[in-house]
């Protein structure tokens, strides 16, 4: 079994979603698909939360409605509205009722309840598009698998419970299912409330599932060709690193390289699962392989971290 993670920009519009479906269609083996919220949905939901806590309830609800309507429109454009409609309506009204209770709730708790709906909606639409293309896909709720403590917005994994739950859920999806689609970023604490793993946490979800399932490999599909020697937006002559060791990758993310979430490497390193960083715009190119071996020699790499002060004592 392999784990594929698709980030927000890979599913931001009709063309991109169809592209993801065709990448998935080209594989013949069982895949767990972990998907982020579409495009900038998470940022948009953060704004809804800001509005709610600024006592601008009507504007918050209006903004929430727009986000949901965009998802419904997208499902129509993809012709998978039949599959998606009931789910998307349910998430819309769940969001409305969460917003009704904002004044009685802890802010971080409310944040997780609402922000998680982004991933729940994107996974609905992706699964709908896959089924429409005749892929044998089912969607499972990541909260049934990812068990955490109650530290909202940066929850910690309960590894024992998560390992049991991941295996139980994925191994019982039924015969004939090739693709298990689930949400990145979200989990559940012991009392049943939704939690999240921190911004950009979907990579981490994919690593957790890879670890628990002893995955053959994990692939993170991005809009860059792989891990580069520097951020190509700042350094246009950055070049691709074809191989990296886990150790070097941890070091790069530690210093702020944004290519993968810093918590991602450790679980897969423990089980020596190779991690591929690949471009969804050029799926046949090799990308970067992060594994135990790495490269014999590395070119200079640059990580730029903005707005930082270094205090030396």
Q: Which residues bind ligand ASP (CB under 6 A)?
A: 7-8, 36-37, 42, 118, 184-185, 199-202
Choose between 203 and 289: whose C-beta lies nearer to Mg ion.
Answer: 203
Q: Which is nearer to ligand ASP, 34 or 173 (CB)?
A: 34
User: Which partner in Mg ion, ligand ASP, none is near 185 (CB below 5 to 8 A by kind)?
Assistant: ligand ASP
Structure tokens, 2: 């392999």
Least separation in angstroms between residue 175's CB and ligand ASP is 31
Q: Which residue is nearest to Mg ion (CB)?
A: 8
Radius of gyration (C-alpha) of the chain in whole angstroms: 19
Q: Which is nearer to ligand ASP, 229 or 264 (CB)?
A: 264
Nearer to ligand ASP, 201 or 301 (CB): 201
Contacts of residues 46-55 at CB distance under 8 Å and 24 or more positions apart, as own/partner, are: 46/111, 46/115, 48/95, 48/99, 48/114, 49/102, 49/107, 49/110, 49/111, 49/114, 49/115, 52/99, 52/102, 52/110, 53/102, 53/107
Q: Collapsing DSSP states into helix, strand and coil, what is residue 26?
A: coil
> Nearest approach, Cβ of 5 to ligand ASP (angstroms)?
8
Contacts (CB under 5 A) with Mg ion, residues 15-44:
36
184 binds Mg ion (CB under 5 A): no
CA angle 186, 191, 194 (to 5 degrees): 20
Does position 201 interact with Mg ion (CB under 5 A)? The reply is no
Residues of this chain that interact with Mg ion (CB under 5 A) are 7-8, 36
């Amino acid at each position: 079994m392999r784990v594929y993670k698709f980030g927000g920009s890979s599913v931001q519009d009709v063309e991109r979603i169809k592209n993801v479906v065709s990448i998935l269609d080209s594989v013949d083996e069982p895949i767990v698909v972990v998907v982020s919220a579409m495009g900038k949905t998470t940022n948009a939901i953060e704004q809804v939360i800001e509005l709610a806590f600024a006592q601008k309830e009507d504007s918050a609800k209006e903004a929430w409605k727009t986000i949901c309507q965009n998802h419904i429109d997208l499902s129509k454009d993809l012709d998978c509205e039949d599959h998606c409609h009931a789910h998307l309506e349910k998430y819309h009204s769940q969001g409305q009722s969460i917003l009704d209770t904002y004044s009685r709730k802890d802010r971080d708790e409310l944040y997780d309840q609402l922000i998680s709906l982004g991933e729940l909606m994107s996974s609905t639409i992706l699964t709908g598009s896959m089924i429409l293309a005749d892929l044998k896909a089912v969607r499972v709720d990541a909260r049934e698998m990812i068990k955490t403590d109650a530290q909202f917005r940066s929850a910690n994994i309960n590894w024992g419970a998560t390992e049991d739950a991941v295996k139980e859920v994925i191994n019982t999806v039924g015969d004939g299912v090739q693709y298990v689609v689930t949400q990145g970023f979200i989990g559940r604490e012991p009392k049943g409330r939704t939690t999240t793993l921190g911004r950009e946490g979907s990579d981490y979800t994919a690593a957790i599932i890879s670890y628990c399932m002893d995955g053959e490999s994990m692939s993170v599909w991005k809009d860059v060709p792989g891990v580069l020697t520097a951020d190509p937006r700042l350094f246009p002559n950055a070049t691709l690193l074809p191989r990296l060791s886990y150790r070097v990758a941890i070091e790069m993310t530690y210093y702020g390289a944004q290519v993968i979430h810093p918590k991602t490497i450790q679980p897969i390193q423990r089980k020596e699962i190779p991690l591929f960083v690949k471009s969804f715009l050029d799926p046949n190119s090799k990308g970067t392989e992060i594994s135990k071996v790495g490269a014999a020699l590395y070119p200079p790499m640059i990580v730029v971290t903005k707005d930082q002060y270094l205090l030396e004592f």
